[in-house]
Structure 1
Amino acid sequence: MNEHSNIENAGIKVSVFKNGRSRAVRIPKEFELAGENVIMNLQPDGSILIRTAETSGLVDYLKTAEAWTGDAFIGDDGDLEPLDEIDLP
């Protein structure tokens, strides 16, 4: 079992180091992010949220989008077969 095996529950401890005039952390491969840029947000509890910049436009849009009421998803479902009942384990 490696040092990063339980990252979902407890997180992992990483070192903070100086990089020029900035502070930096190494992002472990388990947290690989798409693209070359990320968006960082300081959370109210003092933690830092890092997300890929590729999805930031979607997140910003969803914050301002009007809530879907369910209307006009399927206009007329009269020709659809009923769903089959299944037993879940």
Structure 2
Amino acid sequence: MTAGAIAITLGICLLCFAWLQRDRLQISRKNNSPSRNFRPRQAHLERKLLKLLGNNRRTAHRLIQQSRLRYPDKSADWHWEKAIYDLERDRWR
């Protein structure tokens, strides 16, 4: 294979990979708050995380999304508790 053919093949592979991953990394553009189906059952968790973040919903959403990607088998409340725990742990070091 020539260098050009290898580059084209690699580019196609990267595009396919990105296309397959798009759903995992997609963040709602319409609403900066976490999707309704992944809100915590206990409302105090959402309030506490937002309070720690100065009511920055975009950051809260990003933290929850990252946690969901890393630990997909955990419950919604677990992800919110994990984000709160990590923030408090890192702030008081």
Query: Given the two structures, how large is their TM-score scaled by the length of structure 1?
Result: 0.30
| Greater Cα radius of gyration, structure 1 or 2 | 1
Which structure shows the bigger proportion of residues in helix conformation?
A: 2
Which structure shows the bigger proportion of residues in strand conformation?
A: 1
Query: Given the two structures, how large is their TM-score scaled by the length of structure 2?
Result: 0.29
Greater RCO structure (CA 8 Å; 6+ sep):
2
